[in-house]
Amino acid sequence: MQSLVDAPRIGEKMAQRFISHFGCEEDAMAAILRGDIASISEIEGVGRRYAISLVHDVRSTEDGIDISSFLKTRDSVDIYERVIDSIKNYASTPYARDKLHTYIPYPSSRKDLIGINRDWVENHMEYLSMLDDMDRISASLSRIKPLKNFPSIPRVRDRVIVTSNTDDYSILKEKYGKSIEVQLVEDPLEFADVARSYPHVIAIGEPFLEYDFPEDTNPEIITNTREIEEWHILPEKQISFFAFNHERIMNALDLAIILDKAGIPSIVNADISSLSNLMAAINPEGNIVEGRDGEIDRLHHILDNVDSELTKYVDQCNREINDLLQKSSITLSGNDMLGVIRDEVELKDILSRNISASFSQIINDARKEFIDTLSMKQNECLFVDYFFPSELCYPVEADVSQLQKFKEQIKQQIFRREVTHKRDIAYELHEFRQPLKQLVMRLLDLDVGLAVARFGHSLQMQLAGFEDECGMGLKNGKNIFLCEKSVAVEPIDYSLGSIMSPSQVPSSPVVLLSGVNSGGKTSMLELVAQCTILSHMGFPVPADELKIGPVDSLYYFSKSRGTLDAGAFETTLRSFSALAGAGSKLVLVDELESITEPGASAKIIAGILETLSEESNTMAIFVSHLADQILENTDASIRVDGIEAKGLDNELNLIVDRNPIYNHIAKSTPELIVERLFRSGGEVEREFYRRLKNKFEKGC
């Protein structure tokens, strides 16, 4: 496959839509080639189906085992796919459904592969038995989704990276340029300019240690370029990955805790409780909502309230001084009076002297309350002296220019602390990124395994037993497709060859199956195919017991839909010629007779059966209504089994025993229909039907 646009089955429009999911064709191609089902399962709509079929193609060429290694006919592939669809019903996530479609093992006769799969299934069956409330687990699993890489973050505008080295500049520009300004600074003057323009300057490189920078700036100088990591330079990016996947991560953590408590191994691979705490500190928008040290909150409190609190306390001072003045009276001494008259002293000074103690008390009390209310620290209190005058003045006025300066300082402190806090969180989070991705993948893969286990559990399925001799035997088998239709399914016991064969029954591995219409012949053939396919995948089979001899390939031919024209007839015969030789095999054929007229069909079927029964390693079941004619056309000893109606019930419906009777040609349906008409007819009709009935009874 050169490119996705040229890929088989994928139209150009579809390819473009598919590529846009990954951003570029290389990434989309890489996802296909590595079979990245986690990403593919996120694609909406029909693009996903194409992607899956492409993974299928890639996989077929890589594994050495493809779907046709074991399944030799289109009809056997159909049964396999229907079985996979049945298993998919038990998956809770799109990922598991897609993975079941793409990565579930193809059936094969390779004992090593079957063994690996059986171990995997057995493990998951054990996990299933450890989970009390599977509905709840399934609901939680359905919320598990692969983690997405957050494509980009909004540009960070309050920060700049500077370097004086051109090589470093290119690397930094490439790595961070999309999200943050990166500048090449060639001399101290340029550096001073940049330092003034950004609240936060990250200067990378030793030369900056020598540079002067403006007084009111405080660049962060990093001297070891190897230490520059994303969580430090751009903590927002790390945080955004966790914020963007917030819901997915929380769902995964919740489920991991439940599974860990239930004792499912290898789910939790990191300190989940600290990750939960960290996740609580950020919200889905990427804002840090909790876990800041109280200091940032304290500074915010100051910033938000300093104006109103200052107004409040200045007003309070003025009210109290006003009260004080109103209640005050001055008694001038003779000297004071002389001083005033001679302009040597001002009345105001005399007044100050009298009330200065009370004034200071009022100012000091207000100042103290103001500091307490805003929880200010020692170094911040220096500013308070500007807000509350130490010398008597009335009305008291705060120095607003100092207030602005103070607020700028607090903002700087908040900013710095927030950057540090973001970095702390980003650092801790980045340690969890890989384990978390693994956790999510484990949960998703657990869903795949649990789907198979639940499928097996639903019908109390069992793993098959493999035998060396040619044949198979099953006990209490239930056709999966019938069970899905909520039919009350009658369990089937059946055997071919000598495995589990009842005594006195010819142990033929090649048989003809006769029987009434709608007796269950096709259903039994499907059941045998299902058991063979599943056992060769290493999966449980729908029977209490299945023992099966060597099978390298399965040939299933479903019922043909009527007489074929000469060309189709020839093609069908050609496909049967492939049955000669070709290793150990199981051949299941449903009513081949309809391909041509009955006489010719009987001869053809007899010929095929003869060939198959001469082979030592072939099992076959041929469903046919022409058992008598077929036997007439061959000397080979071929066993005929029959699914027979036991009779008619009170409502004159057929009572069918779904279990084939060994070595017995079953009564045909017409005989029973005549019986039904005879029993339900009036007197005249009864006479007519009696005559027909006698014909069957006498065998003429």
Query: Which helix (H) or strand (E) is 494 found in, with range?
Result: strand 492-497
Residue with Cβ nearer ligand ATP (395 or 647): 647
Identify whether the C-beta of residue 631 lies closer than 8 Å to the C-beta of residue 640.
Answer: yes
Direct distance between the N- and C-terminal alpha carbons of the chain, in angstroms, rounded to an integer: 66
Q: Known binding site for ATP: residues?
A: 515-522
Q: Quick check: 538 binds ligand ATP (CB under 6 A)?
A: no
Distant-in-sequence, close-in-space partners of 545: CB < 8 Å, separation ≥ 6: 462, 465, 473, 474, 475, 476, 500
Closest CA to 352 of 399, 390, 311: 390
Tell me the residue nearest to ligand ATP as measured from the CB: 520
42 binds ligand ATP (CB under 6 A): no
**Site residues for ligand ATP, window 654-693 (CB under 6 A)?**
658
Interface residues for ligand ATP in 371-430 (CB under 6 A)?
none
Nearer to ligand ATP, 549 or 642 (CB): 642
For the chain, count helices (H), then strands (E). 26, 14
Name the residue among 569, 452, 483, 533 with its Cα closest to residue 77.
Answer: 533
Coarse DSSP helix, strand, coil percentages of the chain, rounded to the nearest 5 percent: 55, 10, 30
> What is the smallest separation between the CB atom of 636 and ligand ATP, expressed in angstroms?
24
**Does residue number 558 form part of the binding site for ligand ATP (CB under 6 A)?**
no
Residue 549: CB minimum distance to ligand ATP, A:
24
3-state secondary structure 108-162: CCCHHHHHHHHHHHHHHHHHHHHCCCHHHHHHHHCCCCCCCCCCCCCCEEEEEEE
Tokens for 326, please give them.
Answer: 């109103």
Nearer to ligand ATP, 159 or 521 (CB): 521
Cβ proximity to ligand ATP: between 281 and 482 the closer is 482
The distance of closest approach from Cβ of residue 621 to ligand ATP in the complex, given in angstroms and rounded to an integer, is: 12
CB closer to ligand ATP out of 255 and 492: 492
Query: In angstroms, what is the minimal distance from the CB of 571 to ligand ATP?
Result: 23
As a whole number of angstroms, the distance between CA 337 and CA 334 comes to: 5
CA distances from 589 to 574, 619, 643 (A): 15, 11, 16
Q: How far is the CB of 630 from ligand ATP (least distance, A)?
A: 16
Window 472-531: residues binding ligand ATP (CB under 6 A): 482, 487, 489-490, 492, 515, 517-523
Is the bond preceding 395 in cis, omega lying within 30 degrees of 0? yes
Does residue number 456 form part of the binding site for ligand ATP (CB under 6 A)?
no
Taking the least distance from each CB to ligand ATP, the nearer of 164 and 558 is: 558
Q: How far is the CB of 82 from ligand ATP (least distance, A)?
A: 15
Q: Which residue is associated with the tokens 């001399």?
A: 187
Footprint on residues 277-306 left by ligand ATP (CB under 6 A): none
CA distances from 626 to 510, 520, 599, 600, 623 (A): 16, 17, 9, 11, 9
Distance CA 364, CA 360 (A): 6
How far is 202 from 416, CA to CA, in rounded Å? 12
Q: Give the nearest distance from C-beta 606 to ligand ATP in angstroms.
A: 20
Binding-site sequence positions: 515-522
Nearer to ligand ATP, 366 or 587 (CB): 587
Other beta carbons within 10 angstroms of residue 61's beta carbon come to 9
Measured from the CB atom, the residue of 325 and 487 that comes closer to ligand ATP is 487
> Residues in contact with ligand ATP, total (CB under 6 A)?
14
Does residue 594 touch ligand ATP according to CB under 6 A?
Answer: no
Closest distance to ligand ATP from the beta carbon of 541 (Å): 15
Interface residues with ligand ATP (CB under 6 A)?
482, 487, 489-490, 492, 515, 517-523, 658
